[in-house]
Amino acid sequence: MIINADLHIHSKYSKGTSKYMDIEHILKYGSIKGLDLIATGDCLHEKWLEEIEKNSNKPLLLSTEVEDRHRVHHLIFLPSTNQAHDLRNIFSKHAKNIDADGRPRISLNGMEIIDIIRELGGLIGPAHAFTPWTSIYKSFTSIYNCYARKPDFIELGLSADTDMADMVEELRDLPFLSNSDAHSFYSHRLGREFNQMEVNELSGLETNFEEVKKVLKNNKIVANYGLDPNLGKYHLTACTRCFTRFQLKDAEENKFKCPECKGIIKKGVFDRTKQLSKDGKIVHPNFRPKYHKIIPLAEIISLSIGKNIGTKSVDLIWEQYIGRYNNEIDVLINEDILEIKKINEKVGNMIELFRKGKIYIYPGGGGEYGHISKIMPTVKWFHPKVTLDSWVK
């Protein structure tokens, strides 16, 4: 059977995360989104692990994210809570306080961490592989410099897609995961990126792990669904203070210090993938599934009616669609557009434009998310002659 799986989220025990990110809310709103399997996140945190153990028969995958001594973030999947306790005990010897954050900092390097995970029978890969703060390609020019061997997957992150990642030669034989990294259960966060996978069954934690393991080992990812990379907050090279966008050569000439406000310029994911590519080509292996660019329904409703996400007007229309179609993914992708328009014509028209790829996007960068627009946006470039078209070329 084909399932929708979001395999990277965080619990209420991670910093900057909603206090309602508990099992109850994650499963409830994950189902409304259209997700069949959700990773637990943060499974090394003592209190969260206790909550997971009480729900071990739910459609969950045991997971955690850790930060190593080089500030590289690793996404880890584990077979059972026994291995979670074992890993917690091991990492506790290399962390000041393993429970200080749901995503703990570990004073080990990537090679040491991958050895430990493999010994426990788990799966590991770099989280948000290209982001400019805490990623494998921020600290290294090759995954093998970090791990000294092939990881089980890479996670694309919100600012990249498979076209960008398949520009990097060493990644072309690896499975790609597209996950939300959600810190809240709201519909524009949880499941904003997900993977379609072919599995035999879903049950408890151990069965779910074995199914995901088979998917990764046998290339059974059917499709990746994710944000248009332009919506990611690190897609373009940009200033982290005033968010002026830069071409890479201009950023380098200014030594990554913004001449407008003296803020730090962060190299964007698009420029980083081009740097890492030796042949400058997008080469998809035969097993690589299609990447479908999606926009959260709440954002489409917000643009359609001119109201902010989180307002009663947006929430009411969102609830009408969910009440009719049961989950958000079907509304965005599968349901008959004429029927969708009957609920709200403006929203239906916008969904139709989305399906035809005719919604404009102001590209994100420097920590500022991109946003959708009805008209071609004017981007704040450092170089006045740069346009979206010339930047892409």
Domain 2-227 maps to which CATH number in 3.20.20.140, 3.40.50.620, 3.10.450.50, 1.10.275.10? 3.20.20.140
By the 8 A CB rule, do 226 and 293 touch?
A: yes
pLDDT band, very low/low/confident/very high, at 187 (cuts 50, 70, 90):
confident
Q: What is the mean predicted confidence (pLDDT) over 112-138?
A: 97
- CA 215 – CA 199 distance, rounded (Å): 7
- CA 134 – CA 198 distance, rounded (Å): 31
* pLDDT of residue 86 exceeding 70: yes
What pLDDT was estimated at residue 384?
Answer: 61
What pLDDT was estimated at residue 377?
Answer: 82
pLDDT digits (tens, 9 = 90+) for 9-58: 999 999 999 999 999 999 999 999 999 999 999 999 999 999 999 999 99
Report the run of H or E that residue 5 belongs to, with start and end.
strand 2-6
Whole-prediction pTM value? 0.94
What pLDDT was estimated at residue 386?
Answer: 56
* pLDDT of residue 390 exceeding 50: no
- CA 261 – CA 243 distance, rounded (Å): 10
Query: Whose CA is closest to 79, among 67, 92, 64?
Result: 64
Angle in degrees, CA 314, 315, 320, rounded to 5: 100
pLDDT digits (tens, 9 = 90+) for 225-283: 999 999 999 999 999 999 999 999 999 999 999 998 999 999 999 999 999 999 999 99
pLDDT digits (tens, 9 = 90+) for 305-339: 999 998 999 999 999 999 999 889 899 999 999 99
- List the chain domain ranges: 2-227, 231-288+360-392, 295-356
Question: What radius of gyration, in Å, describes the C-alpha atoms of the chain?
Answer: 21
* Bridge partner list, 362: 371
pLDDT digits (tens, 9 = 90+) for 342-388: 999 999 999 999 999 889 999 999 999 999 988 888 888 886 655 55
Average pLDDT, the chain: 95
Query: Whose CA is closest to 63, among 211, 205, 218?
Result: 205
What pLDDT was estimated at residue 391?
Answer: 47
By the 8 A CB rule, do 197 and 220 touch?
A: yes
* pLDDT of residue 199 exceeding 70: yes
Q: Which residue has the higher pLDDT, 106 or 357?
A: 106
Number of CB atoms found within 10 A of residue 279's CB: 9
Calculate helix-pair angle for 81-92, 46-53, nearest 10 degrees. 170
What pLDDT was estimated at residue 176?
Answer: 98
